[in-house]
């Protein structure tokens, strides 16, 4: 009876943990819906607060070498991951609280609606031939120097930014949320934010920022390729052809100097039927990127279509993330049943063995007693 009581308590705890994991799926979908409806929080954005805290940490730990950068990255990413783990443990038997936390975290780390809005604003400026306004708006999307950019170059910069940020701000956080729950959501966003802060090639961050940049590259290996595939799948939504998008993606994706950006940009180029890449002028440096795609240079008309592809990729990623969370729940249920079954079986066998020995002992003792009496 004691064994069965313990088994019952273990089963209850296992079911509670499984319900919390399943709540991750609900939270991911709810958070995605909040981002799609509301966009980024207008005030007191937690990511902005994290950036300020990371900046203060950098001022304490900075040194022009990779060892200091590694310590900075470990602390700045490790703390959010630890916070996510603690929240997961505290809500392991509270599925409603877990779903609410995951929804809030997902809404916080996503940026899909904001990305599409910026693309639409840029499309409006270019359609009205307002290059001054378009140049002033470009820094909302990327860090290029817009002062000498014409309409095709402004459109190209926007399409490339939408393509890359669809992975960074939508697909990747959802994927890591599906795989690892709250720690995955918070850890990925922390790493990606650090890359934006210190992961670029400037004299100050050439060595200090390397660990953050490498971690971001690693975390985006899978999401960027998934983004490319989701973009290809959505090509017909913008009058593109999946076969052509796939051809361009397979041919051009590894030509980009980034291990991840080329995956997204080449798929976007193939789906839209445009050519991306070329000379990029940043503040203080110039980079020449290989061409991706075979069509004309992008124009204002392509920007809204790029936003539509980004939205479609986000829907696919949200569904996949929820499926991954449910798979984790099902896997936990399977493991729990297996462990519980072995526990109950072991106690049953042990009980039978003890009972058998007891009966056998009584039988032997009885025979000896009768023999002594004789």
Both tokens assigned to 243: 């076969």
Nearest Cα neighbor of 186 from 62, 59, 49 is: 49
What digits encode the pLDDT tens for the residues 155-189?
999 999 999 999 999 999 999 999 999 999 999 99
Label residue 4 exposed, middle or buried (CB < 10 Å: 0-12, 13-18, 19+): exposed
H or E, element range at 328? helix 300-373
* Predicted structure pTM score: 0.85
CB atoms within 10 A of CB 243: 11
Long-range (24+ apart) CB contacts under 8 A made by 4-7 are 4/344, 4/347, 6/343, 7/340, 7/343, 7/344, 7/347
Residues 6+ apart with CB under 8 A from 85: 182, 183
Residues 6+ apart with CB under 8 A from 280: 144, 157, 286, 287, 288, 289
CB atoms within 10 A of CB 259: 15
Contact present, 309 and 228 (Cβ < 8 Å): no
Q: How far apart are CA 47 and CA 78, in angstroms?
A: 15
Nearest Cα neighbor of 320 from 23, 27, 29 is: 29
Low-confidence winner among 115-129, 272-286, 354-368 (lowest mean pLDDT): 354-368
Residue predicted with more confidence, 234 or 338: 234
What digits encode the pLDDT tens for the residues 36-83?
999 988 777 899 999 999 999 999 999 999 999 999 999 999 999 999
Q: How far apart are CA 78 and CA 86, in angstroms?
A: 12
* Residues facing residue 287 across a β-bridge: 280
* CA atoms lying within 13 Å on the CB side of residue 349: 6
Nearest Cα neighbor of 184 from 112, 91, 93, 102 is: 102
Contact present, 47 and 35 (Cβ < 8 Å): no
Share of the chain above pLDDT 70, in %: 83
Instruction: Enumerate the domain spans of the chain.
Output: 16-349
Contact present, 162 and 121 (Cβ < 8 Å): no
Mean pLDDT of 126-137: 94
Contact present, 80 and 187 (Cβ < 8 Å): yes
């Amino acid at each position: 009876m004691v064994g069965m009581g313990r088994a019952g308590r273990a089963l209850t705890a296992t079911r509670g943990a499984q319900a919390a994991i399943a709540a991750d799926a609900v939270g991911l979908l709810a958070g995605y819906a909040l981002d799609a409806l509301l966009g980024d929080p207008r005030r007191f954005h937690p990511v902005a607060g994290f950036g300020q805290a990371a900046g203060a940490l950098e001022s304490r730990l900075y040194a022009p070498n990779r060892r200091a950068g590694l310590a900075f990255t470990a602390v700045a990413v490790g703390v959010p991951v630890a916070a996510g783990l603690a929240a997961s443990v505290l809500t392991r038997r509270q599925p409603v609280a877990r779903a609410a936390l995951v929804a809030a975290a997902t809404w916080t780390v996503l940026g899909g609606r904001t990305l599409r809005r910026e693309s639409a604003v840029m499309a409006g400026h270019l359609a009205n031939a307002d290059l001054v306004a378009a140049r002033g708006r470009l820094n909302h999307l990327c860090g290029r120097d817009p002062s000498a950019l014409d309409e095709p170059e402004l459109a190209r910069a926007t399409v490339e930014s939408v393509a890359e940020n669809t992975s960074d701000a939508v697909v990747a956080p959802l994927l890591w949320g599906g795989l690892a729950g709250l720690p995955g959501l918070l850890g990925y966003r922390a790493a990606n934010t650090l890359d934006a802060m210190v992961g670029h090639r400037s004299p100050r961050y050439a060595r200090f920022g390397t660990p953050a940049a490498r971690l971001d590259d690693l975390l985006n290996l899978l999401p960027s390729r998934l983004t490319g595939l989701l973009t290809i799948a959505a090509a017909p939504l913008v009058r593109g052809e999946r076969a052509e998008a796939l051809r361009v993606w397979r041919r051009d994706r590894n030509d980009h100097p980034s291990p991840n950006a080329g995956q997204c940009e080449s798929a976007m180029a193939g789906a839209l039927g445009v050519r991306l890449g070329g000379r990029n002028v940043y503040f203080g440096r110039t980079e020449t990127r290989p061409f991706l795609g075979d069509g004309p240079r992008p124009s204002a008309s392509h920007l809204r279509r790029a936003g539509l592809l980004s939205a479609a990729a986000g829907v696919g990623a949200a569904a996949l993330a929820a499926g991954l969370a449910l798979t984790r729940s099902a896997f936990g249920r399977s493991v729990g049943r297996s462990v519980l079954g072995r526990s109950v079986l072991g106690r049953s066998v042990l009980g039978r063995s003890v009972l058998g020995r007891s009966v056998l002992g009584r039988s032997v003792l009885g025979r000896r007693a009768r023999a002594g009496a004789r």
